[in-house]
Chain A
């Protein structure tokens, strides 16, 4: 078994959106939509604000509410690395999963089905990194298997402080942010 995860170093990230545009070309994401995006979070006041920049996407949660609410089984957890995916042909476009995702990571593709980040599973299956990871000019993104203690993601999580998004939502995200 493997559990794929992404570890993103917010210290290195400059928020350039290369991950976004790489995803758009790799996955032919239609114009006006995105599967990943940049969030800038500012705490404090000038002249001593604190800024965290994050590349966000589907968190491929271990407890995915989008999967449990799906009436047709279109949203599912894939055996390969526990990635959360959508069968386009099973999806009826009811949008329950969009409403169920606390991260608003999904959207309705113009062709009618729910769509989102796939962790570029088609690339991962070929031994490549997801497009966003492979393109990042700051090398702030890492992809790998949490079940492999020697993987880069496991090592980074063991050695650096990190957080996930909305852990209180109980979804157990698999995208981690190093601080």
Chain B
């Protein structure tokens, strides 16, 4: 037993680091979600090919939601900055050793990629908008007429999505001072968590847009209002099972990565074991097991498996749970990671 006392009492630092509150986990979650949306949208764009003009909405609604989510996420990040007026300094330099510098430049590229992806099939997805702004049709035609451009947009979305997703994990993983975060597995973990969230989100939208009899009643009002405003066609219900299937794959991989992440810590130094203990048995164990593992991964996995095997109807539940689990994962990892410490392990 070691008795360690310090006279330091700096705000945000003592008694244990708490520099990041809700803003950073929200940003990391939305970043991951956008990454997932980009990858799914990118793949769809590549797979669809321009010859087929009927749009799959995850190519359009996904990226549009992605643009919104990304803006929200960056706003959350901005709110976290202590020296807000200097934020532009991010773009006067590139620091190759800083994940945050990489991230800020990646984010700058994500916007046009997402936008281009959304514009490719916008007229079909939201005809009302296209009627009002005919230029959107022209843009869409321009893109779809050029196969290489479509492929470029698709691949750019996939590549940037992967980079963005991994970056959100590496941002924490690179901080060796916090043993809980100190794993490169956080990159793929956050990437697949983002993918599962994105698939769940799109799946949720498709569930909402499914034929009346299959639709959860509570969504009626919401959906009809949405349809009236956008004048949209019913979304492609065939994509639902596909996305749910994909989501299950992502969730399975995420679960495996989470296991490996913890295993890595448990087989590492005492400092890392103690850090993992924060999640497994310590103060964060209850929320971790219940919200992240149980409600966020296992139950949606089960529900979606039952949906896919047609034992139950497709509902919003798995989508909501996966999204919630994605937020919980970041909130808990950010909080517990800040509490994990080299010095505390002495006690």
Contact = CB atoms under 8 A, between A and B. Distances in A.
Nearest to A113: B83
A108 B12 contact: yes
A69 B100 contact: yes
B4 A40 contact: yes
A71 B101 contact: yes
A146 B99 CA distance: 32
Provide the main secondary structure of the chain B interface: loop
B13 A72 contact: no
Interface stretch (B45-53, B89-97, B231-239): B89-97
A89 B93 CA distance: 14
Interface string B76-115: 0000111110110110110101111101100000000000
A102 B177 contact: yes
Provide the main secondary structure of the chain A interface: loop
Interface stretch (A3-11, A93-101, A149-157): A93-101
A77 interface: no
B175 A108 contact: no
B278 to A, nearest CB: 16
Interface residues of A, number: 47
Nearest to B12: A108
Contact of B86 (A40, A93, A98): A93
B5 interface: yes
Contacts of A104: 8, 10, 13-14, 17
A74 interface: yes
A108 B343 CA distance: 21
Interface stretch (A30-38, A124-132, A135-143): A30-38
Given A99-B178, A107-B11, A92 B20 contact: no
Given A20-B7, A93-B81, A112-B84, A98 B2 contact: no
A71 to B, nearest CB: 4
A170 B95 CA distance: 21
Contacts of B178: 99
A39 B87 CA distance: 35
30 contacts: A33-B11, A37-B7, A39-B8, A40-B3, A40-B5, A41-B2, A41-B3, A43-B2, A65-B176, A69-B100, A69-B174, A70-B100, A71-B98, A71-B100, A72-B86, A92-B81, A92-B82, A93-B82, A94-B81, A95-B20, A99-B17, A102-B176, A102-B177, A104-B8, A104-B10, A108-B11, A108-B12, A108-B19, A112-B84, A169-B176
Interface of A: 17, 20, 32-34, 37-43, 45, 56, 65, 68-74, 89-96, 98-104, 106-108, 111-113, 166, 168-170
